[in-house]
């Protein structure tokens, strides 16, 4: 795009095309997608959803921001190091089943109870949730890492 | 119904073979992902295509679907997702270093390090 | 409870330590210590496991507390225990070797975490009792190996890495296809359960032959047997030496292990038919490996073609499917893992010291490194199988079994190929170590104490293994029994039902 404009005779081309519509809509849509991703994440286990899909959707939301803005702006918006995201995700995914082994259960044993909270009512507490959170973080981190690696190749 | 999906997965695998045998790196990667789709479809067919309830959770359920092929496909999809992402990164790196996406240029010479 | 903990350790330790390394970030010095520590733990744990399996027979733990045919099980018979032990020993020495050879650049870019991820996958593939889980672990170690083969991204690595990637992805996809077929026939994924179910299988046996062809295609591709070996020599010569050593010693052996397991548990229907075909392929592999080993003066290439010869030997032992053949195959498998790693490491030392890979350009190293020269000679003798050294026992049992079963040509090919191995490796020894004395100043000035430590340690280990082979015989007999008579492996499923 930039080089085509230059060839067409535009002396000065802005570094970023000014896409007001895309930028505005993506700012709003980001939160909607994120909300849906969390919904999917918590819906997992008994109904379709879970860490992998949730993580993919979250990274899709972030990629939308990446398309609307650029890598630098994104880094300013989300000052996260993806390596740490992946590492903590893997640690959660491994640590939870290993930790359960210390209580005498075999590896990956699934434990759950149900508690009653005010307002929210009955809620199931599963030991699979921290594990799934680990999957969520790992998927999110590695997808973003790869997309930024591929997408940021031009600069 | 099973017959149609089996034929469909055969068509997908055939198309994938054609793509993998081509010279462009990008086509090979697309071929790999099409191949995995064809094989996942085959795997789904192996568990019989029918509608039914969730097994195990309640004892009263009699007409249930087999959850295992679906679990296997989910795992295989995750793996093929990771592989596609990795091979895209590798192809990009290859393109940058070797300056071409043609496998003809990737033959290599004798006795080089 | 204790057993649960112990048996999961070979999967947890490497994974946990590599995650810790990811947390620490780009600090290669710290990575070195952590990686070596983790493998030390692994050696201790796997020795305990070998002892436990020797005392109690096949051990298993149910992951997730689901009973056996429904959940995933981790099963240790003697084969798996011995392979895990050998893997950890090799990895420990390769990690020590990497300190001075792989280069700080690669170490910074997460070389050690990737190596440990690969070990996690390999240990998992050796120990899992669930065929789909085996596929998952295959993918884990393959993904790590894709990264390892291109780490550092030189031109050759990228080029060969892409070919390696495509070949392995295609064959892995066929693994899933075979799994789907097997599942639709037996309705189970647990390997022991499938074995029990197939014993009372009364459907069309031709279907099982079809499934076996799909599986054999996958595993033979990973192992590098004749029509499917074309990716092997080029891909393996691309990465730097420590990675090549671990690939050559371990990755093809995982294919051999998977083949051994599935042949004994699933595909015992039409054994005379399938085994004869595989025997023929193994013999052709040996011949092609011999031709390759003779054709090259490139140090790496000669050894890489020797991998193919060794794989052929092991398959000759496996296809006999009797106790003698399997004992030979197990001896040769363990021996080959140790000595191939040792030889790759010592050849790596020569390459790093001289900066050349072609044996014709190197001469007279004996004047500078006499001990290394004789160590190389011992390693060569061990590879060929001169009596007190371990290669002898494997070949003895394999050839004996081949003659007992009336496969005279197979026995003769194995014996003759030993001569070719001897010629190919001694030719290198003469070229590199004898001749016009090398000049100290022409060699590269590098630190090499750790390079020599690892390679000598592995060669001495191989010699010790040769002298204690008699003592270790009960272990190998147990391992071979577990393959020949799968009921000892599949016993645990009976307790459940």
- Which chain A residue lies closest to B96 (C-alpha atoms)? A153
* Rg of chain A, C-alpha, whole Å: 21
CB atoms C64 and A87 under 8 Å? no
B102 has which bridge partners?
A: B24
CB atoms A94 and C19 under 8 Å? yes
Alpha-carbon distance B111 to nearest alpha carbon in chain A (angstroms): 32
Which pLDDT score is estimated for A154?
47
The token duo for C303 is 């050894």
Give mean pLDDT, residues A98-114: 75
Q: A12-16, C75-79, C104-108, C345-349: lowest mean pLDDT where?
A: A12-16
Percent above pLDDT 90 for chain C? 34
Which pLDDT score is estimated for A155?
42
Answer whether residue C307 shows pLDDT above 80: yes
State residue A113 phi and psi, 5-degree precision. -135, 170
- Which chain A residue lies closest to C14 (C-alpha atoms)? A94
Alpha-carbon distance C141 to nearest alpha carbon in chain B (angstroms): 12
Confidence band for C368, pLDDT divided at 50, 70 and 90: confident
- pLDDT, one tens digit per residue, over C170-200 is 999 999 999 988 888 888 888 888 888 888 8
Can you list the pairs that C20-24 forms with residues at least 24 positions away whose Cβ atoms lie under 8 Å? C21/C110, C21/C112, C21/C113, C21/C116, C22/A83, C22/A86, C22/A87, C22/A90, C22/C110, C22/C113, C23/A84, C23/A87, C23/A88, C23/A91
Residues of B in contact with C184 (CB under 8 A): 46-47
Residues of C in contact with A84 (CB under 8 A): 23
**Number of helices (H), then strands (E), in chain A:** 6, 2
Q: Which of C359, C341, C482 is nearest to C426 (CA)?
A: C359
Alpha-carbon distance B89 to nearest alpha carbon in chain A (angstroms): 6
Which pLDDT score is estimated for A76?
84
Q: Chain A within 8 Å of C2 (Cβ-Cβ)?
A: no
- Which chain A residue lies closest to C21 (C-alpha atoms)? A87
State residue A119 phi and psi, 5-degree precision. 60, -60
Which pLDDT score is estimated for C46?
92
CB atoms A101 and C23 under 8 Å? no
* Triad C479, C485, C488: Cα angle to 5°: 75
CA dihedral sign, ordered C101, C103, C108, C111? negative
Q: Is B64 exposed, middle or buried (0-12, 13-18, 19+ CB in 10 A)?
A: middle
The token duo for B61 is 């359920």
Answer whether residue B12 shows pLDDT above 90: yes
A122 Rama class: left (phi>0) / alpha (psi -120 to 50) / beta: beta
The token duo for A34 is 């994120």
- Which chain B residue lies closest to C172 (C-alpha atoms)? B36
CB atoms A150 and B82 under 8 Å? no
Alpha-carbon distance B106 to nearest alpha carbon in chain A (angstroms): 21
Whether the CB-CB separation of C136 and B79 falls below 8 Å is answered with yes
Residues of C in contact with A107 (CB under 8 A): 4, 8, 12, 61, 63-64
Confidence band for A7, pLDDT divided at 50, 70 and 90: low
H runs (alpha helix) in chain B: 2-20, 25-46, 67-98
B111 Rama class: left (phi>0) / alpha (psi -120 to 50) / beta: left
Answer whether residue B16 shows pLDDT above 90: yes
- Which chain C residue lies closest to B112 (C-alpha atoms)? C156
CB atoms C165 and B90 under 8 Å? yes
- pLDDT, one tens digit per residue, over A68-101 is 887 778 888 888 888 888 889 988 888 888 887 7
Q: Report in angstroms the alpha-carbon separations of C257 from A93, C333, C344, C475.
A: 28, 9, 22, 17
Q: Chain B within 8 Å of C491 (Cβ-Cβ)?
A: no
Answer whether residue C420 shows pLDDT above 60: yes
- As a whole number of angstroms, the distance between CA C150 and CA C156 comes to 9
- pLDDT, one tens digit per residue, over A113-147 is 777 777 777 777 777 888 889 989 998 988 888 88
**Mutate: best of A85, A87, A109, partner C, most C CBs <10 A:** A87
- pLDDT, one tens digit per residue, over C72-114 is 888 888 899 999 999 999 999 999 999 888 888 888 888 899 9
CB atoms A107 and C63 under 8 Å? yes
- Which chain A residue lies closest to C113 (C-alpha atoms)? A87
- pLDDT, one tens digit per residue, over C427-445 is 888 888 888 887 777 778 8
State residue C250 phi and psi, 5-degree precision. -110, -45
C62 has which bridge partners?
A: C73
Residues of A in contact with C5 (CB under 8 A): 101
- pLDDT, one tens digit per residue, over A28-39 is 999 999 999 999
C130 has which bridge partners?
A: C190
- pLDDT, one tens digit per residue, over A47-66 is 778 888 899 999 999 888 88
Which pLDDT score is estimated for C495?
66
Total-model pTM:
0.91
- As a whole number of angstroms, the distance between CA C52 and CA C85 comes to 13
Which pLDDT score is estimated for A4?
61
Which pLDDT score is estimated for A149?
78
Sorted by where each starts, the structural domains of chain B and their CATH numbers stand as 2-50+68-98 (1.10.287)
- As a whole number of angstroms, the distance between CA C12 and CA C364 comes to 47
Chain B neighbors (3+ CB pairs < 8 Å): A, C
Q: Which of C275, C288, C326, C319 is nearest to C79 (CA)?
A: C326
Which pLDDT score is estimated for A3?
60
Q: Report in angstroms the alpha-carbon separations of A149 from A72, A145, A146, C7, C225.
A: 13, 6, 5, 38, 37
Alpha-carbon distance B29 to nearest alpha carbon in chain C (angstroms): 8
Whether the CB-CB separation of C78 and C479 falls below 8 Å is answered with yes
What crossing angle do the helices spanning C78-101 and C28-56 adopt, rounded to 10°?
160
Confidence band for A152, pLDDT divided at 50, 70 and 90: low
Half-sphere exposure for C405 (CA within 13 Å, toward CB): 24
Q: Report in angstroms the alpha-carbon separations of C282 from C186, C272, C288, C318, C411.
A: 30, 15, 10, 10, 12
Alpha-carbon distance C158 to nearest alpha carbon in chain B (angstroms): 6
**Mutate: best of A110, A149, A155, partner B, most B CBs <10 A:** A149
Residues of B in contact with C153 (CB under 8 A): 93, 97
Query: Which positions ≥6 away from A49 have C-beta within 8 Å?
Result: A39, A40, A41, A42, A43
Which pLDDT score is estimated for A67?
83
What is the rounded average pLDDT for all residues in chain C? Answer: 88
- pLDDT, one tens digit per residue, over C30-66 is 989 999 999 999 999 999 999 999 988 888 888 877 7
- As a whole number of angstroms, the distance between CA C390 and CA C469 comes to 7
Alpha-carbon distance B36 to nearest alpha carbon in chain C (angstroms): 6
Query: Which positions ≥6 away from C191 have C-beta within 8 Å?
Result: C75, C129, C130, C131, C134, C261, C265, C266, C490
Q: Chain B within 8 Å of C170 (Cβ-Cβ)?
A: yes
CB atoms C183 and B93 under 8 Å? no
Query: How many structural domains is chain A composed of?
Result: 1
CA dihedral sign, ordered C318, C320, C324, C325? negative
Q: Chain B within 8 Å of C197 (Cβ-Cβ)?
A: no
- pLDDT, one tens digit per residue, over C18-31 is 999 888 888 888 98
Q: What is the ipTM of this complex?
A: 0.91
The token duo for A113 is 């109870």
Alpha-carbon distance C133 to nearest alpha carbon in chain A (angstroms): 14
CB atoms A98 and C23 under 8 Å? no
Which pLDDT score is estimated for A12?
57
H runs (alpha helix) in A44-127: 51-68, 71-77, 82-101
CB atoms C132 and B86 under 8 Å? no
CB atoms C4 and A101 under 8 Å? yes
Q: Which of C52, C42, C33 is nearest to C15 (CA)?
A: C42
Alpha-carbon distance C147 to nearest alpha carbon in chain A (angstroms): 13
> In terms of residue numbers, what domain contains A51?
2-154
Answer whether residue C349 shows pLDDT above 60: yes
Q: Chain B within 8 Å of A26 (Cβ-Cβ)?
A: no
CB atoms B98 and C158 under 8 Å? yes
């Amino acid at each position: 795009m930039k080089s085509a404009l230059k060839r067409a005779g535009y002396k000065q081309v802005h570094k970023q095309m000014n896409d007001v519509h895309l930028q505005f809509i993506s700012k709003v849509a980001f939160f909607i997608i994120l909300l849906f991703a969390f919904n999917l994440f918590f819906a997992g286990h008994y109904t379709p959803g879970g860490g992998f899909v949730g993580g993919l959707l979250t990274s899709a939301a972030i990629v939308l921001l990446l398309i609307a803005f650029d890598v630098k702006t994104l880094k300013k918006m989300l000052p996260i190091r993806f390596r740490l995201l992946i590492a903590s995700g893997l640690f959660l995914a491994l640590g939870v089943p290993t930790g359960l082994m210390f209580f005498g259960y075999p590896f990956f044993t699934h434990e759950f109870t149900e508690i009653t909270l005010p307002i929210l009512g009955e809620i199931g507490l599963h030991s699979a949730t921290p594990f799934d959170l680990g999957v969520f973080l790992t998927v999110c981190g590695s997808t973003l890492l790869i997309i930024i690696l591929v997408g940021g190749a031009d600069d | 119904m099973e017959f149609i999906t089996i034929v469909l997965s055969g068509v997908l695998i055939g198309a994938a073979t054609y793509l993998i045998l081509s010279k462009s790196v990008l086509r090979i990667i697309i071929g790999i992902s099409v191949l995995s789709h064809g094989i996942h479809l085959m795997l789904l067919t192996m568990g019989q295509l029918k509608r039914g309830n969730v097994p195990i959770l309640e004892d009263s359920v009699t007409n249930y679907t087999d959850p295992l092929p679906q679990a296997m496909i989910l795992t295989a999809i995750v793996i093929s997702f990771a592989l596609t992402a990795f091979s895209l990164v590798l192809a990009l790196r290859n393109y940058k270093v070797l300056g071409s996406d043609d496998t003809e240029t990737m033959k290599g010479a004798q006795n080089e390090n | 409870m204790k057993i649960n903990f112990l048996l999961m350790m070979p999967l947890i330790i490497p994974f946990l330590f590599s995650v810790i390394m990811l947390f620490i970030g780009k600090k290669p010095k710290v990575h070195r210590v952590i990686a070596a520590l983790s493998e030390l733990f692994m050696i201790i744990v796997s020795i305990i496991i070998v002892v436990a399996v020797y005392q109690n027979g096949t051990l298993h733990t149910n992951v997730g507390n689901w009973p056996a045919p429904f959940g995933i099980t981790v099963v240790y018979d003697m084969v798996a225990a011995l392979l895990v032990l050998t893997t950890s020993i090799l990895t420990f020495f390769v990690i020590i070797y990497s300190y001075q050879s792989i280069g700080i650049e690669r170490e910074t870019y997460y070389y050690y975490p990737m190596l440990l991820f690969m070990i996690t996958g390999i240990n998992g593939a050796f120990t899992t009792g669930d065929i789909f889980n085996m596929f998952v672990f295959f993918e884990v170690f393959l993904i790590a190996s894709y990264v390892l083969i291109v780490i550092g991204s030189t031109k050759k690595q990228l080029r060969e890495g892409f070919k390696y990637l495509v070949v392995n992805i295609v064959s892995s996809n066929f693994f899933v296809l075979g799994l789907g077929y097997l599942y639709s026939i037996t309705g189970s994924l647990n390997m022991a359960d499938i074995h029990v179910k197939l014993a009372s299988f009364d459907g069309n046996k031709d279907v099982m032959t079809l499934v076996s062809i799909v599986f054999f295609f996958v595993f033979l591709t990973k192992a590098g047997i004749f029509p499917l070996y074309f990716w092997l020599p080029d891909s393996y010569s691309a990465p730097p030496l420590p990675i090549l050593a671990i690939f050559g010693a371990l990755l093809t052996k995982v294919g051999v292990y998977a083949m051994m397991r599935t042949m004994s548990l699933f595909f015992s229907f039409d054994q005379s038919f399938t085994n004869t075909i595989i025997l023929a392929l193994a013999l052709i592999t040996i011949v092609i490996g011999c031709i390759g080993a003779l054709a090259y003066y490139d140090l790496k290439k000669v050894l890489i073609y020797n991998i193919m010869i060794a794989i052929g030997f092991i398959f000759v032992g496996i296809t006999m499917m009797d106790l003698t053949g399997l004992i030979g195959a197990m001896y040769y498998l363990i021996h080959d893992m140790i000595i191939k790693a040792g030889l790759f490491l010592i050849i790596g030392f020569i390459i790093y010291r001289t900066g050349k890979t072609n044996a014709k350009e190197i001469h007279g190293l004996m004047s500078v490194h006499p001990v290394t020269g004789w160590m190389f000679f011992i390693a060569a003798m061990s590879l060929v199988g001169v009596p007190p050294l371990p290669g002898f026992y494997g070949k003895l049992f394999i050839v004996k079994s081949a003659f007992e079963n009336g496969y005279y040509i197979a026995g003769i090919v194995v014996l003759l190929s030993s001569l070719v191995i001897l010629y190919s490796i001694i030719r290198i020894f003469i070229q590199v170590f004898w001749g016009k004395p090398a000049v100290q100043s022409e060699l590269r000035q590098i630190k090499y104490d750790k390079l020599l430590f690892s390679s000598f340690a592995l060669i001495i280990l191989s010699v010790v293994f040769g002298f204690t082979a008699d003592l270790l015989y009960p272990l190998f007999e147990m391992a071979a029994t577990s393959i020949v008579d799968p009921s000892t492996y599949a016993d645990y499923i009976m307790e459940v039902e």
